[in-house]
Chains A and B, each alone.
Chain A
Amino acid sequence: MHIRFRSIEMDFELSEEQKMIRETARNFARKDLEPVAVEANESGVFPTEIYEKLGELGFMGMTVPEEYGGTNLGSLCLVIALEEISRVCASTAVAVSVHNSLANRIVLKYANDGLRDRFLPDLASGKILGAYAVTEPAAGSDLASLRMSAVKKGDEYILNGTKIFISTGNKAGVIVVFARTDQEDKKRGISAFLIEPGFDGFSVGKVEDKMGLKASTTVELVFEDCRVPAENMLGGEGDGLKIALSSLDSGRIGIAAQSVGITQAALDEAVSFARERKQFGKRIIDFQSTRWKIADMAMNLDAARLLVYRAAVLSDSEQRSSKEVSIAKLFASQAANRVVYDSLQIHGGVGYTKEFLIERLYRDARVLEIYEGTSEIQRLVISREVMEEYDRMMPD
């Protein structure tokens, strides 16, 4: 007799639309992105045209409402799309993630009507890319220590300082930049601005030669008496830290999704290689040592994906989710690094050459534990949240 339990509400299935979105992302990634990705990761030439195509399909406006030409689908759908893009090209995924989960969100939420009308339609259609600049040489994880100055002069702010490690900073049409409007007040002294690359005093400095993510650029931005109209301020004066903190979660979910894509690709590569490769008279997939690796990889992938989906759903329903987001980001980025390691091990010597995709995946995975909050910062967030929960449950 089949017994149906009375309380089984917890749906792990994607909806029909979400599956279709995954299908479109997957087909696009395989047919259009893959040939471009192979070339661009080799040459390091930024494939601008791919973002226009992604825009035409609606992938560049997933956090933007329809009235601005966006598709307004939210974090979970963005995660699904990023996974598929990252599976083929992690460089493209990071640009799409920063654009959707940081730049677009912040412009939508904090820019005034004029800026929104001017930029959101072009951002949502992928005509221009959005970037996000907070990191400085002396301000990494400790973002409140940033030094770049913004001094009000008439109806302009004059910005001076340097931002580093800015993804697509030399390709973006707009950049969200954080600067200090008050040198004394560490927390309330930071403000956010929307910078256009044509502004006087703005220039691109060093273009980093990175270990991985070769098809995306990471650059230094130099501000020398850069004149920014006061109306380009995002939110009010002193809102910068609040804006930066409020965008942490969505940025982290994006990188967690990128991690899942890399993990999936590393498993795909491991299985396909191990089914072909023969040693000692049999396929290496038939050795238990390989099988156990495959099992561990699948377990890591599955757990990472579920954690990321949960974080995205919580974020979409506007529930407090910093702990769940950090757990997802920490686990998914570590899982990716474990899985690329095992996948390369299964490949053996050829995995260490550029002949096989795993070599690129291995390099691309490393930064997942560093950007959008290092693994250490994620642990800080998680432990703080857990301790707060206990403090409330168990008063001294």
Chain B
Amino acid sequence: MKIIVLLKRVPDTEAKILINQNGDGIREEGIKFVINPYDEYAIEEGLLLRDKVGGDSKVTVVCMGAEEATENIRTALAMGADDAVHICDPALKKPGPLTSATVMAKAIKDEGYDIIFCGKQAIDDDMAQVQGIMAEILDIPQVNVAVKFELSDDAQNVILQRRIEGGDEKIEARLPAIISCEKGLNEPRYASLPGIMKAKKKEIRTKSLADLGFDDVPGGGKSRILKWLPLPKGGECRMVEAEEISDAVGELVRLLREEAKVL
């Protein structure tokens, strides 16, 4: 079984995000970049499926991102993925979801696939669009936000569970399909020390747009990010204190009327 896992390099969840001066990106210096946490569930599910199916099954990581993403790909390989495709091209500096999906879909087609796992969204821009667009391009079923995964006995279908308002939904989909993974699907493993040493020898195939047969950046122009804005600063908190609660309420009303002018 040919298992594809999509991986994105994103700022660490604990990093303090600052918008750069032009408002077209974030300040990257001093920030740690990690595998998108939801993608870790995708990697783990891919590894579990590979080991269950056995035979010549393999997990191939597909990542589109800057050169530095190699270190995150290497971590996925250390977790146990077999090889990787790294799509890296200066023209792909800030791709929109349509571009990402188009380019990665081509790479996946070239690789061949039976199933694609990805995170339910990337925690950097939270677009959650790539899997949907990719399903359209590849013309395969998509199931999003899966918390449980099973392969049918004949290995032709997958049975998934997703948590919805008030209950769980069970869905069956025909393979090949693309599955986006939610927290709770599994417990992602650590890259073990033997895994880290083995990862050194695993192949990462680096591809440019030209390698994938694109003359130009595909899928541009449908939507455009105009500007990134910093979060508004939180106002200062003022405590209204008084001996009697009624005095405090009176003072609060006066402040709301006279200073804040909202009453």
- Shortest A309–chain B CB gap in Å is 18
Q: When the two chains form their complex, are residues B200 and A57 in contact, meaning their CB atoms are under 8 A apart? A: no
Q: When the two chains form their complex, are residues A21 and B190 in contact, meaning their CB atoms are under 8 A apart? A: no
Give a binary string over A54-67; 1 marks a CB under 8 Å from any B CB, 0 the rest.
00111100100000
| A179-215 interface with B by 8 A CB criterion | none
Give the contacting residue for B197; candidates A56, A57, A71; CB below 8 A.
A71
Q: Which residues of A contact B78 (CB under 8 A)?
A: 20
- Shortest B61–chain A CB gap in Å is 15
Q: Which residues of A contact B196 (CB under 8 A)?
A: 17, 20-21, 24
**Residues of B contacting A: mostly:** helix
Q: When the two chains form their complex, are residues A27 and B190 in contact, meaning their CB atoms are under 8 A apart? A: yes
Give a binary string over A271-310; 1 marks a CB under 8 Å from any B CB, 0 the rest.
0000000000000000000000000000000000000000
Q: When the two chains form their complex, are residues B74 and A56 in contact, meaning their CB atoms are under 8 A apart? A: no
- Contact count band on A: 10 to 19
- Please report the C-alpha to C-alpha distance between residue A73 and residue B200 in the assembled complex, in whole angstroms: 14
Most chain A Cβ neighbours within 10 Å, of B191, B196, B197, B199: B196
Query: Is B192 close to A, CB under 8 A?
Result: yes
- Shortest A296–chain B CB gap in Å is 23
| B40-89 interface with A by 8 A CB criterion | 71, 74-75, 78
Q: When the two chains form their complex, are residues A19 and B71 in contact, meaning their CB atoms are under 8 A apart? A: yes
Query: Is A341 close to B, CB under 8 A?
Result: no
Q: When the two chains form their complex, are residues A58 and B194 in contact, meaning their CB atoms are under 8 A apart? A: yes
Q: When the two chains form their complex, are residues A57 and B190 in contact, meaning their CB atoms are under 8 A apart? A: yes
Query: Is B193 close to A, CB under 8 A?
Result: yes
Q: When the two chains form their complex, are residues B191 and A23 in contact, meaning their CB atoms are under 8 A apart? A: yes
Query: Is A110 close to B, CB under 8 A?
Result: no
Q: When the two chains form their complex, are residues B74 and A73 in contact, meaning their CB atoms are under 8 A apart? A: no
Closest B-chain residue to A69, C-beta based?
Answer: B194
Closest B-chain residue to A77, C-beta based?
Answer: B193
Query: Is A28 close to B, CB under 8 A?
Result: yes
Q: When the two chains form their complex, are residues A16 and B192 in contact, meaning their CB atoms are under 8 A apart? A: no
Closest A-chain residue to B78, C-beta based?
Answer: A20
- Shortest B75–chain A CB gap in Å is 6
Q: When the two chains form their complex, are residues A73 and B193 in contact, meaning their CB atoms are under 8 A apart? A: yes
- Shortest B81–chain A CB gap in Å is 14
- Please report the C-alpha to C-alpha distance between residue A132 and residue B57 in the assembled complex, in whole angstroms: 45
- Please report the C-alpha to C-alpha distance between residue A226 and residue B181 in the assembled complex, in whole angstroms: 58
Offer 22 A-B interface pairs, CB within 8 angstroms, sorted by A.
Answer: A17-B196, A17-B197, A17-B200, A19-B71, A20-B71, A20-B74, A20-B75, A20-B78, A20-B191, A20-B199, A23-B191, A24-B190, A24-B191, A24-B192, A24-B196, A27-B190, A57-B190, A58-B194, A71-B193, A73-B193, A73-B197, A77-B193
Assuming A59-B193, A73-B193, A77-B193, what are 20 further A-B pairs, CB within 8 angstroms?
Answer: A17-B200, A20-B71, A20-B75, A20-B78, A20-B191, A21-B193, A21-B196, A24-B191, A24-B193, A24-B196, A27-B190, A28-B190, A56-B192, A57-B192, A57-B193, A58-B192, A58-B194, A62-B193, A71-B193, A71-B197
- 7 shortest interchain CB distances as A-B pairs: A58-B193, A71-B193, A57-B192, A20-B196, A24-B190, A24-B191, A58-B192
